[in-house]
Amino acid sequence: MDSQAIAVPATKSEIVHEHSPHLEHHFATESQQREASNFGMWLFLLTEIMFFGGMFTAYLIYRIWYYPAFVAGSHWMIIWAGTLNTVVLICSSFTMAMGVHSAEIRNRKLLLRYLIATLLLGCVFLGIKAFEWHDEWEHHHVPGLNFSINEFTHVDPRYPLDKPLPRDMAEKTQDYFSLYFLLTGVHALHMLIGVSILLFIIFHAWRGAYTTGNMNFVENFGLYWHFVDIVWIFLFPLLYLISRHQ
């Protein structure tokens, strides 16, 4: 028995392709496809929240236990670099949002401009980050590789009111820097992935791929980019601004 519950057209070629070439065959309408891909992206971002969440949990615990060490470690951050990075990322989120809008209104030139601006800002961020990491290396603040507690057991000239840490608390600054490198490293990795995808998007945008009605990919990438930005907005005060009012 080979009965079909559903009526069968004679041949498949009789199914007329009335829809746009972007519509995948398992979706009924373009709006269904767009909503599905959007939903999928939000779910993926939820998994990213859980991923960063593990690191934030570790940070929370160690900061409560070793607060003086975290204060000392945080004072060694280059505040202007961190602030500049924050501004850069917020601007890049703005240019990205404008890019998505340009795709919506099908303006190819504008889209390209905004995407390239986002790319440049992203690269500036990564460059400043690299500079900061180099500085940490110079100061022997890289755990496991060249970490030294010397700078914490002596008076820091930039913060003459800070007392030098006793040895046992100075040892704990290693926990601060481990989390610093972990958090900013994973964040930078996400930025790098974002920048790579952005290159891909720019190339296809130049060919007109996103301004002919199917801008799902740009829209979803925008979501990703905004997420990476928001993670930084949390990282910045947690890492750079501990007890800065002194």
Partner 1 sequence: MSASTVLKLPPQETADLPKKSYLNSEYGLKSWLLTRDHKRIAILYLFSTVFFFTIGGTAAAFIRLNLLTPGGELMAADTYNKLFSIHGIIMVFFFLVPIAPAVLGNFLIPLMIGAKDVAFPRLNLLSWYLFVTGGACELYAIIWGGMDTGWTFTTPLSTHYVNTHVIGAALGIFIAGFSSILTGVNFIVTIHRLRAPGMTWFRLPLFIWSFYATSIIFVLATPVIAIALVLIMMERTIGIGVFDPARGGDPLLFQHLFWFYSHPAVYVMILPGMGVISEVVACFSRKRVFGYTAVAFSSVAIAVFSFFVWAHHMFIMGISNYSALVFSLMTMLVAVPSAIKIFNWSSTMYKGSITFDTPMLYTFSFIGLFTMGGMTGVMLGCLGMDIHLTETYFIVAHFHYVMVGGMVSAFMAGLHFWWPKMTGRMYPEALGRLAASVLFIGFNLTFFPQFILGYMGMPRRYHAYPPEFQVLNVLSTAGASILAVGYLLPMLYLTWSLKYGKVAGSNPWRATGLEWQIQSPPLTENFLETPVVDFEAYDFEWLANKEKNEVQSVG
Partner 2 sequence: MHFISPVLWQFLVKWLSRLPLFPPEASSIAPYTDAFFFFLLLISIVGTGIVVLMVVSFSMLYRKEKNPEATQIEGSTLLEATWTIIPLALFMIAFVWGALLYFRIYNPPTNAMNIYIVGKQWMWKAEHPGGQHEINALHVPTGRPVQLTMISQDVFHSFSIPAFRVKREVIPGRYTTVWFEATQPGTYHLFCTQYCGTLHSQMIGEIVALTPDDYQKWTAGSTSGASLAQNGERLFASLGCASCHSGSPDAHGPSLAEVYGSKLQMANGSFVTVDDAFLRDTILNPTMHQVAGYAPIMPTYQGQVSEEGLISLVEYIKNLNSNYRVQQTLNTSQVQTVAPSAPATGQGVVKQ
Q: Which residues bind partner 1 (CB under 8 A)?
A: 1-9, 12, 24-28, 32, 35-37, 39-40, 43-44, 46-48, 50-55, 57-58, 61-62, 65-66, 69, 143-145, 171-172, 174-175, 178-179, 181-182, 186
H, E, C per residue of 131-179: HHHHHHHHCCCCCCCCCCCHHHHCCCCCCCCCCCCCHHHHHCHHHHHHH
Under the binding rule (CB under 8 A), the answer on residue 104 touching partner 2 is no
Under the binding rule (CB under 8 A), the answer on residue 154 touching partner 2 is no
Backbone angles phi, psi at 63, to 5 degrees: -65, -40
Q: Which is nearer to partner 2, 77 or 149 (CB)?
A: 149
Q: Which is nearer to partner 2, 67 or 133 (CB)?
A: 67
CB of 172 to partner 2, least distance (A): 8
CB of 144 to partner 1, least distance (A): 3
35 binds, among partner 1, partner 2, none (CB under 5 to 8 A by kind): partner 1
- Rounded CA separation 12/58 (Å): 57
Q: Which is nearer to partner 2, 66 or 181 (CB)?
A: 66
DSSP secondary structure, 165-231, as one string: PPHHHHHTHHHHHHHHHHHHHHHHHHHHHHHHHHHHHHHHHHTTTTSSS--HHHHHHHHHHHHHHHH
What one-character DSSP code corresponds to residue 19?
Answer: S
165 binds, among partner 1, partner 2, none (CB under 5 to 8 A by kind): partner 2
Of the candidates 51, 168, 200, 213, which one interacts with partner 2 according to CB under 8 A?
A: 168
* Residue 160 buriedness (CB in 10 A; 0-12 / 13-18 / 19+): exposed
Q: Which is nearer to partner 2, 165 or 201 (CB)?
A: 165
Of the candidates 53, 166, 208, 213, which one interacts with partner 2 according to CB under 8 A?
A: 166
Structure tokens of 172? 């704990």
Using DSSP's 3-state secondary structure scheme, residue 10 falls into: coil
Q: Which string of x and - marks every residue 118-147 that binds partner 2 (by CB under 8 A)?
A: ------------------------------
Considering only residues 58-87, where is the footprint of partner 2 by CB under 8 A? 65-66, 68
Q: Which is nearer to partner 2, 66 or 227 (CB)?
A: 66
Q: Which is nearer to partner 2, 59 or 217 (CB)?
A: 59
- Rounded CA separation 200/213 (Å): 18
Q: Which is nearer to partner 1, 175 or 219 (CB)?
A: 175
DSSP secondary structure, 63-120, as one string: HHHTHHHHHHHHHTS-HHHHHHHHHHHHHHHHHHHHHHHHHHTT-HHHHHHHHHHHHH
What is the binding site for partner 2 (CB under 8 A)? 65-66, 68, 165-169, 171
